[in-house]
Amino acid sequence: MHDRLTAEPIRLTYEDFRALPDDGKRYEILDGDLYMSPSPITQHQRFVARLHVILTLHVNQHRLGEVFVSPYDVVLGRHDVVEPDLLFVARENSQIVTAKNIQGVPDLLVEVLSDSTRERDLRDKRNIYARCGVPWYWIVDPEGPRVMELKLMDRAYAVVAEVSGKANWTPELFPNLAIGLPELTAS
């Protein structure tokens, strides 16, 4: 009788992530699996840059914490290393900000959809962010433009706001901030 050997699936870690070549590509580890994304397109970068400025000005003015922009490693757990487009860490959680990365769960993660990452952002990352306990997740589609504000409730996300077109939006997370979607998409 022959013994069958069954290989356990390899689940990558942050140490594996740090050992990847610096080849200019964007990598993430989701549930131990490695994903590579091409560089974002111009429209995506403009949207991220404008939202970053709006959030940073608001957060700094009210001394709420810090806003970071990708590329920046967020180590949610041993097998989950992500690079969201934007993230916010509240002042009271500043201990997760280290000299090299974020070690823990930020208060907000923002993903701006691209053709190459759309499904991953809408399904895989949404599930991982909920499982890891990320309180707020914004999914932004620059083509609408459309924003979905998700709040973690009972280990799953609930949509607390969904705005599109030329609407103004006041995020529940930042009740003193009004964001005009046209501001984010102006050429």
Structure confidence by residue, pLDDT tens digits, 134-186: 999 999 988 878 899 999 998 899 999 999 888 899 999 999 999 988 887 76
14-185: CATH topology = tt1808, chain A (3.90.1570)
What's this model's pTM, rounded to 2 decimal places? 0.85
Structure confidence by residue, pLDDT tens digits, 84-143: 999 999 999 999 999 999 999 999 999 998 887 788 888 888 999 999 999 999 999 888
Position 74 pLDDT exceeds 80: yes
Q: What is the DSSP string of 129-169?
A: HHHHT-SEEEEEETTTTEEEEEEEETTEEEEEEEEETT-EE
Is the distance from CB of 77 to CB of 97 less than 8 angstroms?
A: no
Among residues 76, 45, 52, 79, which one has the least CA distance to residue 66? Answer: 52
Give residue for tokens 């689940």: 11
Would you list the domain boundaries of the chain? Answer: 14-185
Is the distance from CB of 134 to CB of 105 less than 8 angstroms?
A: yes
pLDDT value, residue 160: 95
